[in-house]
Structure 1
Amino acid sequence: MKLSIYADGGSRGNPGVAGSGTAVFDAATNELLREIVYVVGKKATNNVAEYHGLLRGLEAAAELGASEVYVFMDSKLVVEQMSGRWKIKHPDMQKLAAQGRKLAERFDRVAYTWIPRAQNEIADKLSNDAMDAAAAGHEPGVVGGDAPAERPVAPEPAAPAEPAAPAERAGAVDWWKDTSHPPTRLVLLRHGQTDYSLHKRYAGRHDAELNATGRTQAAAAAQALAAEGGIDAIVSSPLARCSATADAVGQKLGLRTRTIEDLQECDFGDWDGLTFAEAQDDDPAHHAAWVADGTLCPPGGESYEQVNDRITRVRRQLVEEYPGQTVLVVSHVNPIKSLVRQALGADAGIYQRMHLDLASICVVDFFPEVAEVTPVLQSFNATAHLR
């Protein structure tokens, strides 16, 4: 008997109330055989919840007498770790993965395949049901019965699929260089429009808020990122334009935003609130020199090199804290340019050669320093979601 498992998990707070959802289908007929809503606990992470979704599916498949099992998940971390391509460092996940491998021994074959979140809607819904139950006080364990009155069919791809080879995966990196150190993927989202950005004014530490257009842009970015899926955590600049943009995404993903002070925009000092022309008129020689030299500071502000130094600290912190995970970073023009600069190994002159639209998205993979793999810029200034 061949079965398809669609599994997912989530945490509101990460860590916070957590639950997993699992749907088990007959791979030949697409008939739903079992539906599992499982409360993980009140202080667990997304990844732990995702592993529980997998475990509940493997347990159900064993009970149903499966010989072959095809697992579909939108968690790249779980898929890669269970496929043996990524090393597992976190003790909690090591234990859960060991349980998964033990369960997998009961079958002749188990294949793990990553799918976009949009193809995993049934498991996503069940995991949200589990989180609702956890928030309502349900103890860890299965909630409700096995299957609904209306039995949905398996989403595409329903047919068993082989895991893609590393070089064939979307956004593939040179994994053959060092598969024991998976990258931390940073999805870089610039905040939406403010009245300052509308009128092309320097807005460094000035706490400008999103205007109506900015709120629409944030909602569009949130929709696109939710459809793509795979985000494990959200971090943001504390300034209002970023926190509002981050919260729009967090509401879609069920994730809480973590504030990092060093993700703030460059401090433009006395030029904050001025247009380029007004700052040029204020001190033509100094302003022209500052534009050309990343080591110079605006009056009372900070240089691009100082921005790069603090963003480098943030990048190292995120790579250390979120190994092998995907983190949404909501920030401003210059911090995002700094991360792109670091990925490309460029000097400060590159700032003037890059343009970032409001609410645009970039994606960069950073490896731990022990890995002999350079960072990779996967995409830059994506804006299709705003059209």
Structure 2
Amino acid sequence: MREFIVEADGGSRGNPGPAGYGAVVIDAASGQTLAEAAEYIGVATNNVAEYRGLLAGLRAALALDPTAAVHVRMDSKLVIEQMSGRWKIKHPDMKPLAFEASRVLPPTQVTYEWIPREQNKHADRLANEAMDAGKRGEQWSAAASTAELVAADARAARAAAKAVAEPVPSGPPGDASAGAARARAALAQGRSKDVPPASPAPSAAAPAEDVPSASPAPSAAAPAKAEADVRAARTVAAPSSGWAPADMGAPATFVLLRHGETPLTPQKRFSGSGGTDPSLSDVGREQAERVGAALARRGTIQHIVASPLTRTRETAGIVAAHLGLDVSIDDGLRETDFGAWEGLTFGEVRERYPDDLNAWLADPEARPTGDGESFAATATRMAATRDKLIAAYTGRTVLLVTHVTPIKTLVRLALGAPPESLFRMELSAASLSAVAYYADGNASVRLFNDTSHLRA
């Protein structure tokens, strides 16, 4: 009996949104690709597209040899568990697709295995090619796929040759353009996969207010950090499984977006939830448009939840228009209440309330003047909000549009870092961070303070 491996995938840019699938049949003995299938299917969800990919792969295997043993490999935990009979199929859109898939070949000929996303690249590429073709008003074809692969290989070869032949500009240690050039060169030579994610360099103590803090100090690791940042920017909202066991299932992934600039942001004024509630500036609205366009290209955000404050609701609304999603509001995502310090600069607070400020910097239980909210109280609120959202969005990718202190607190809690770490994090307006939460209670910080989309 011949043995085939079927690898399948599907995706939706918006969920639901423009969707497509890809599937490949491989000879288990030789590893040779025997058949490929891909199709743009219009507006659908990720899960529907994944099931359509499974169906296409099984049908292609059937056409090659109806008596072959077929081993299905997919990175969709949902599809694998449901088709294996371990999970019930509850969604009405899934039931007919699963039933149809179970009828293509006798169940005794088909086995199922979950694999990490990075091991399903062939089918993932085909699915994305199908969605790209749909965007152009076309359907995927094998000939066009082969031509694109040849062109991509040629571009990679030219880039690698150029990177070796031409010196990469060095620039000063913290120069962003030079760092990006190094990153591109490293990626072209295939080295970026070996670079571990870099942590932000510590900065001098600054208030954990809803304004950007000072830029991180330059370090000798700047080139490596630039490479890691480029890689992370490409994978945000589509994280790999990391160190989590395969049987943990898909995590709840929170993509954390700090709102765009307001008139108070460039002035570095405390802007919490205790009185000041500014709208976005023109710069802030443009930043939100750029975030929305970038996330729409990545196509993995499934839900949007925002803080109730004006600047976050405006940012979320602009992004939602790009993604075709609704926005839910959660009061737990609001910024810290800075009491009497609202609207003041750090210097003005030090001048007017020096003792209160010193206590606040030293003790997470200390409150800003005027019965503001302590960092300890914010952490308690954020932990409760986090747990509630994890329960509601298990296995989903959710954009949380919020503020500096909530984002830093979620990252701090995920890392198990002490409260003083809040003062050592850089978080820019309209930046993206990401944390994945697994079923065993562990968390994985995937990205922090990414602003590459603002420079596009």
Q: Same fold (TM over 0.5)?
A: yes
CA drift at 1:335: 0.3
For residue 183 of structure 2, what is the aligned residue in structure 1? none
Are the structure 2 counterparts of residues 283 and 232 from structure 1 closer, same or farther at C-alpha, using a change threshold of 3 Å? same
Over aligned residue pairs, what C-alpha RMSD do you find?
Answer: 4.5
Give the Cα separation in 1 of the matches to 2:298 and 2:379. Answer: 29
* 1:201 corresponds to: 269
Q: Which amino acid aligns with 1:91?
A: K
Which residue in the other structure is 1:367 paired with?
A: 438
| Partner secondary structure for residue 248 of structure 2 | coil
**CA shift in 2, pair 1:364/1:22, >3 Å:** closer
Distance between the aligned counterparts of 2:300 and 2:72, measured in 1? 16
Structure 1: runs of 5 or more not aligned: 41-45, 130-145, 159-168
In the TM superposition, residue 367 of structure 1 has moved relative to its aligned partner by 2.0
Q: How do residues 1-387 of structure 1 correspond to structure 2 at under 5 angstroms?
A: 7-9=10-12, 21-22=20-21, 35=39, 37=41, 46-54=45-53, 57=56, 61=60, 78=76, 80-83=77-80, 91-92=90-91, 95=95, 98-99=98-99, 102=102, 105=105, 113=120, 120-121=127-128, 123-124=130-131, 153=145, 171-176=240-245, 179-205=247-273, 206-298=276-368, 299-368=370-439, 371=440, 374-387=442-455
Partner residue in 1 for 2:224: none
Kept after mapping to 1: 8 A contact 2:22/2:126: no
How many residue pairs get aligned? The number is: 346
Checking the alignment, whether the CA contact within 8 Å between 2:133 and 2:139 is kept in structure 1 is: no
**1:197 aligned counterpart, secondary structure:** coil
Contact 1:5 1:69 in 2 (8 A): no
Return closer, same or farther for 1:232/1:33 CA change in 2, 3 Å cut-off: closer
Deviations 1:15-48 (A, max 9, x none): xxx78545779999999978564777xxxxx454
The secondary structure found in structure 1 opposite 2:265 is helix
Q: Which residue number corresponds to residue 138 of structure 1?
A: none
Greater strand content:
1
Q: State TM-score, norm by structure 1.
A: 0.71
Q: Which amino acid aligns with 1:223?
A: A
Distance in 2, matches of 1:115 and 1:228, equals 18
Find the aligned partners of 2:406 and 2:47 in 1 and give their Cα distance: 31
Larger radius of gyration: 2
Query: Which stretch of the first structure deviates more once superposed, 338-347 or 19-28?
Result: 19-28
SS at match of 2:271: coil
- The secondary structure found in structure 2 opposite 1:91 is coil
Normalised TM-score (structure 2): 0.61
CA contact (8 A) 1:31 1:153 kept: no
Give the stretch that moved more between structures: 2-11 or 180-189: 2-11
Give 3-state SS (helix, strand or coil) of 1:198's partner: coil
Percent of paired sites with the same residue: 30
Distance 1:329 1:116 in 2: 30
CA distance in 1, matches of 2:283, 2:18: 35
Report the AA paired with residue 277 of structure 1. G
Partner of 1:175, secondary structure, is coil
2:380 aligned partner, one-letter code: D
Output the CA distance in 2 between the equivalents of 1:252 and 1:377: 26
1:336-358 CA-to-partner distances (Å, cap 9, x unmatched) read: 01100110112321111112111
Task: Tell me how far apart the structure 2 counterparts of residues 98 and 304 of structure 1 sit (CA, whole Å).
Answer: 49
